[in-house]
Chain A
Amino acid sequence: MNANEKLWGLLAQYENPATVYHACEKVRDAGYQQWDSCTPFPVHGLDKAMGLKPSKLPWAVLIVGVTGSTLGLLFQMWAMGWAYPMIVGGKPLMSLPAYVPVWYEITVLTSCVTAFLANWIMNGLPQPYHPAFASKAFERATDDKFFIMIEAADPKFDLEKTRALLKDAGATQVEELEP
Chain B
Amino acid sequence: MSHHDIQKPTDITIPADSLFAKLPMLGGGLAVVGLGATLASAFGENKARAMFSYLWAFEVVLAIALGALGFVLIQHAVRAGWSTVVRRLAETAMVTLPVFIVLFIPIVALGMHELYPWSHHTDAILEKKRWFLSVPFFLGRAALYFAIWSAFAWLLYSASVKQDSTADGSAEQKKLSHTMWKLSAGGIFVYALSQSFQAIDWMMSLQPHWYSTIFGVYFFAASILAFFCFVTLVAMALQKAGVLKDAITTEHFHDLGKFIYGFTVFWTYIAFSQFILIWYANIPEETEFYMVRLQGGWDVVSYALPIAHFFLPFLFLLSRHMKRNRTALAAACVWMLFMHCVDMYWLILPNFGTHGEGHHEAHLAISYLDVTALLGMVGAFLAAYGFFLNKNKVVAINDPRLTESLAHENY
Contact = CB atoms under 8 A, between A and B. Distances in A.
Nearest to B411: A42
A45 B409 contact: yes
A18 B2 CA distance: 8
B260 to A, nearest CB: 19
Contacts of A21: 1
A101 interface: yes
Contacts of A62: 318
B282 A97 contact: no
Interface in A79-135: 89-90, 97-98, 100-101
A90 B276 contact: no
Interface of A is mostly: helix
Contacts of A97: 275-276, 279-280
Contacts of A100: 272, 276
Contacts of B280: 89, 97-98
A53 interface: no
Interface in A28-47: 42-45
A18 B5 CA distance: 13
Interface in B1-16: 1-2
A97 B275 CA distance: 9
A44 B282 CA distance: 53
Interface residues on A, range: 10 to 19
Interface string B280-322: 1010000000000000000000000000000000000011100
Interface residues of B, number: 13
B1 A45 contact: yes
Contacts of A42: 411
A62 B321 CA distance: 15
B409 A44 contact: yes
A58 B409 CA distance: 20
B363 to A, nearest CB: 25
A18 B282 contact: no
A96 B275 CA distance: 12
A18 B1 contact: yes
A17 B411 CA distance: 15
Contacts of A17: 1
Interface string B119-131: 0000000000000
Contacts of B279: 97
Contacts of B276: 97-98, 100-101
Given A89-B280, A90-B282, A98-B280, A44 B1 contact: yes
Contacts of A43: 1
Contacts of B318: 62
Contacts of B275: 97
Contacts of A89: 280, 282
A170 to B, nearest CB: 15
A18 B276 CA distance: 53
A37 B252 CA distance: 28
A126 B228 CA distance: 41
Nearest to A45: B1
Contacts of A58: 319-320
Nearest to A17: B1
Nearest to B4: A18
Interface in B251-282: 272, 275-276, 279-280, 282
Interface in B156-195: none
A49 to B, nearest CB: 9
Nearest to B306: A100
Contacts of B272: 100
A101 B276 CA distance: 9
Nearest to A42: B411
Nearest to A95: B279
Contacts of B282: 89-90
A160 B213 CA distance: 72
B206 to A, nearest CB: 25
A129 to B, nearest CB: 29
A104 to B, nearest CB: 9
Contacts of B320: 58
A42 B2 CA distance: 14
A58 B321 CA distance: 12
Contacts of A44: 1, 409, 411
Contacts of A90: 282
Nearest to A49: B1
Nearest to B2: A18
B294 to A, nearest CB: 13
Contacts of B411: 42, 44
A42 B279 CA distance: 47
A164 B279 CA distance: 72
Interface in A42-60: 42-45, 58
A43 B409 CA distance: 10
Given A43-B1, A62-B318, 7 more contacts: A44-B1, A45-B1, A45-B409, A58-B319, A89-B280, A89-B282, A97-B280
9 contacts: A21-B1, A42-B411, A43-B1, A44-B409, A45-B409, A90-B282, A97-B275, A100-B272, A100-B276
Query: Nearest 10 pairs between A and B by C-beta?
Result: A44-B409, A97-B279, A97-B276, A44-B1, A45-B1, A42-B411, A18-B2, A45-B409, A21-B1, A89-B280
Interface of A: 17-18, 21, 42-45, 58, 62, 89-90, 97-98, 100-101
Interface of B: 1-2, 272, 275-276, 279-280, 282, 318-320, 409, 411
